[in-house]
Amino acid sequence: MTCPAMTRIGRLFLSLKRESQKGLIAFLTAGDPTPLRTPALVAAMVRGGADLIELGVPFSDPVADGPVIQRSGERALKAGTTMATVLGIARQIRATSDVPLLLFTYLNPVLRYGLERLATDAAAAGIDGCLLTDASVEEAETYVEAMHRHGLDTVFLAAPTSTPQRIKLVAQYSTGFVYLVSRTGVTGVQDSLSASVAPLVQAVRAATLLPLAVGFGISTPAHVAELGRQVEAVVVGSAFVRLIERNADNPALETQLEAFTRELKSGFGASA
Amino acid sequence: MTSQPDAGGHFGPYGGRYVPEVLMAPIEELEAAYLAARQDPAFQSELADLLRNYAGRPTPLYFARHLTEALGGARIWLKREDLLHTGAHKINNCLGQALLARRMGKRRIIAETGAGQHGVATATVCALLGFECVVYMGEVDMRRQRLNVFRMRMLGAKVQGVSGGSATLKDAISEAMRDWVTNVGETYYLLGSALGSHPYPMMVRDFHKIIGEEARRQILDAEGRLPDTLIACVGGGSNAIGLFHAFIPDSAVELVGVEAGGRGNALGEHAARFRGGAPGVLQGAYSYLLQDEHGQIALTHSVSAGLDYAMIGPEHAWLRDRNRAQYVAASDTEALDAARRLSRIEGILPALESAHAVAEAIKRAPAAKGKIFIVNLSGRGDKDIDIYREKFPELDQQ
């Protein structure tokens, strides 16, 4: 398999390592509450200290997502968000920011847009990589080749249920970083993190030198602190999306988002 | 011609395993357990005993004399899956998978249901074998199949309403998958159609292929030759693939699947995946799918909850690509008329799903003098009485 030249994602993890820092990865659904609003929300997250942005492309049937992200996808679809809309949002973000951007979605909207066409257009829009929740490594070869040809990273998930054999495949197909799922279950916030993270981190470390990020259920600075000791980056999704949902009509949303990002990021200080 | 998937569960380009990584290990575990059970004579003999003495197999192959005479063409035989315990073919698969779940040491079974027939069959086998049972059902379907909701509850199952999306079968499957992702260790997902990730399409097909094996023997006994045409309705496609499978090598036997034509040709008005659908990925499999230009799954409509689903099972897509089977559609109205006609002249009140297959037989038979048809009467219509009453109000006023 060809490896892409280093993207902004690869460069981010190099610089984090050089500075002995950890990364905060922030997810939001592009187009929620409206496509017009997304670039400003991303800018607020970046000001608050987000190191990488996952741009969720809404899908009508998100089997891996809990109710919070399901609802945000419904709002984004209702607001007319399509793959083309999200690429437009990425271009807008890229016009003023160098923050790494990862497309996060399901396979069907990508197949419909066209693998080759998406790889071309995403690279041109300044996207750095892609994560498809329902693309198992067994079915991913064509997708991975198309993305890599256009210099995009392909991030795959490793789960507490993944066997050593599967972890090897996930590591082999991933570039940029490997995304570890903290627990079994759908996306969503929870109070305490499963003890299954540590063995998973160890198993994936044994299979790859790539940086590791942990996500699913992370919503507080304490979670960030706890996981920051084990991996290079943590992902926060539903907690951001819930804040956006509750404050969609509030003109102070951007300020709140920036403050919440900063608060989460401060968790890393506690883990140093 | 044979019809077996490759090691990755592909029927040609269709099928496969498209699920979140959390589910990949459980799906591999399921596949290994199933392949072992399939080879195990003790498993097969326990299943055969339950199919015979609990479910009521073999089911009759009944010559529909009055329908045949009224249409004046093909000789029409009905495979009476509607006579099985719980009222539809679904019990074949539920018994097989529940025995597998017990063998795997699971204690909790979850399922989705559209018309409620799979839910009732799942609740039934869970009562029989002592599993905790949760059935996910779209709230729209719960309203139109109220009787089956109550049956499931009486059998001890918890019926969990699903309000997201179109609140029908597709959304019930998504919610069942979310439950499985969350409770992966102790839970067995008993999928009810020839859909989803490998090994489900193959396994569900295997548990239903007894329908065609019996029908093949029965028609040879009765008519002394193979039939010309098999007709079955296709939602996900489990009863159809069950009837078709034993006949796939018999290339002279025509295989006809009947999709839900609904109330119109526009996207959203029907569930005929081969009419306006395109290949795509949904809920674990790659197959023909009703979707919009952006890859969002389309809403579907059918008077029959069991056919109201956006994707067709992958083996059907492959049979169609190779011209081994053809797929047509029957409208809501045609299915309702067929149900009424069969009730009146044969004394058999079919499920709305199966009525789609009867409608196609009614269309074809007059021009098929000398031909033999087998129609899969996959379920009985008791569950649909509320809909029939609504559609035939004049019968209430007699």
| Single pTM value for the model | 0.96
| Predicted local distance difference test score (pLDDT) of residue B205 | 98
Best of A104, A112, A121, A189 to disrupt the B interface by mutation (most B CBs within 10 Å)?
Answer: A112
A186 touches chain B (CB under 8 A): yes
Q: What is the 3-state secondary structure (H, E, C) of chain A?
A: CCCCCCCHHHHHHHHHHHCCCCEEEEEEECCCCCCCCHHHHHHHHHHHCCCEEEEECCCCCCCCCCHHHHHHHHHHHHCCCCHHHHHHHHHHHHHHCCCCEEEEECHHHHHHHCHHHHHHHHHHHCCCEEEECCCCHHHCHHHHHHHHHCCCEECCEECCCCCHHHHHHHHHHCCCCEEEECCCCCCCCCCCCCCCHHHHHHHHHCCCCCCEEEECCCCCHHHHHHHHCCCCEEEECHHHHHHHHHCCCCCCHHHHHHHHHHHHHHHHHHHC
Q: Do B281 and A111 touch (CB under 8 A)?
A: yes
Sign (positive/negative) of CA torsion A131, A134, A140, A145? negative
Among chain B residues, the shortest Cα distance to A137 is held by B21
Cβ contacts of A64 on chain B, cutoff 8 Å: 20, 22, 178, 181
Q: Do B280 and A134 touch (CB under 8 A)?
A: no
- The yes-or-no verdict on residue A272 having pLDDT over 70 is no
Report how far residue A146's alpha carbon sits from residue B283's, in angstroms, rounded to the nearest whole number.
23
> What is the pLDDT of chain B when averaged over all its residues?
96
A82 touches chain B (CB under 8 A): yes
- The yes-or-no verdict on residue A39 having pLDDT over 70 is yes
Q: Do A59 and B296 touch (CB under 8 A)?
A: yes
Q: Do B296 and A77 touch (CB under 8 A)?
A: yes
Q: Name the band, by pLDDT with cuts 50, 70 and 90, for residue A269.
A: confident
> What is the pLDDT of chain A when averaged over all its residues?
94
Q: Do B164 and A70 touch (CB under 8 A)?
A: yes
| Predicted local distance difference test score (pLDDT) of residue A183 | 81
pLDDT in tens, B253-304: 999 999 999 999 999 999 999 998 999 999 999 999 999 999 999 999 999 9
- The yes-or-no verdict on residue B349 having pLDDT over 50 is yes
Active site residues of A: 54, 65
| Predicted local distance difference test score (pLDDT) of residue A5 | 76
> CA-CA-CA-CA torsion for B307, B309, B315, B319, nearest 10 degrees?
70
Q: Do B281 and A108 touch (CB under 8 A)?
A: yes
The rounded percent of chain A whose pLDDT value lies above 70 is: 94
Q: Name the band, by pLDDT with cuts 50, 70 and 90, for residue B145.
A: confident
b vs e for B324-337, b when ≥16 Cβ sit within 10 Å of the residue's Cβ? bbebbbbbbebbbb
Say which of B20, B291, B296 has its CB closest to residue A64: B20
Residues in chain A: 272
A70 touches chain B (CB under 8 A): yes
Query: Quick check: helix, strand or coil at residue B257?
Result: strand
pLDDT in tens, A153-179: 999 999 999 999 999 999 999 999 999
Report how far residue A43's alpha carbon sits from residue A48's, in angstroms, rounded to the nearest whole number.
9
| Predicted local distance difference test score (pLDDT) of residue A196 | 66
Report how far residue A179's alpha carbon sits from residue A201's, in angstroms, rounded to the nearest whole number.
10
Query: Quick check: helix, strand or coil at residue B313?
Result: coil
- The yes-or-no verdict on residue B165 having pLDDT over 50 is yes
The rounded percent of chain B whose pLDDT value lies above 90 is: 94
Closest CA to B222 of B374, B378, B67: B374
| Predicted local distance difference test score (pLDDT) of residue B64 | 98
A109 touches chain B (CB under 8 A): yes
**Residue ranges of A 157-176 with Cβ closer than 8 A to chain B:** 157-163, 166, 170
- The yes-or-no verdict on residue A59 having pLDDT over 90 is yes
Sign (positive/negative) of CA torsion B28, B29, B32, B38? negative
Q: Name the band, by pLDDT with cuts 50, 70 and 90, for residue B138.
A: very high
Cβ contacts of A110 on chain B, cutoff 8 Å: 295
CB-CB neighbours of B149 under 10 Å: 21
Report how far residue A214's alpha carbon sits from residue A221's, in angstroms, rounded to the nearest whole number.
14
Which residues, in sequence order, are bridge partners of residue A25?
Answer: A52, A235
Q: Do A108 and B280 touch (CB under 8 A)?
A: yes
Active site residues of B: 90, 112, 378
- The yes-or-no verdict on residue B240 having pLDDT over 70 is yes
Q: Do A110 and B295 touch (CB under 8 A)?
A: yes
Interval A134-144 mean pLDDT: 96
pLDDT in tens, B192-234: 999 999 999 999 999 999 999 999 999 999 999 999 999 999 9
b vs e for B202-240, b when ≥16 Cβ sit within 10 Å of the residue's Cβ? bbbbbbbbbbbebbbebbeeeeeeebbbbbbbbbbbbbb
- The yes-or-no verdict on residue B318 having pLDDT over 90 is yes
Rounded to whole angstroms, what are the CA distances from A215 to A24, A122, A159, A180, A238?
A: 10, 24, 10, 6, 10
Best of B6, B10, B19, B22 to disrupt the A interface by mutation (most A CBs within 10 Å)?
Answer: B22
pLDDT in tens, B179-197: 998 898 899 999 999 999 9
Q: Do B294 and A106 touch (CB under 8 A)?
A: no
A142 touches chain B (CB under 8 A): no
Burial of B160: CB neighbours in 10 Å, binned 0-12, 13-18, 19+: middle
Closest CA to B241 of B205, B265, B195, B214: B205
A88 touches chain B (CB under 8 A): no
Report how far residue B378's alpha carbon sits from residue B325's, in angstroms, rounded to the nearest whole number.
18
Report how far residue B175's alpha carbon sits from residue B22's, in angstroms, rounded to the nearest whole number.
15
Cβ contacts of A63 on chain B, cutoff 8 Å: 19-20, 174, 177-178, 181, 283
Beta strands in chain B (DSSP E): 10-11, 14-18, 61-63, 75-80, 108-113, 132-138, 158-162, 187-189, 229-233, 254-262, 278-282, 284-289, 325-331, 372-377
Q: Name the band, by pLDDT with cuts 50, 70 and 90, for residue A4.
A: low
Query: Phi-psi bin for B190: left (phi > 0), alpha (psi -120 to 50), beta?
Result: beta
- The yes-or-no verdict on residue A194 having pLDDT over 60 is no
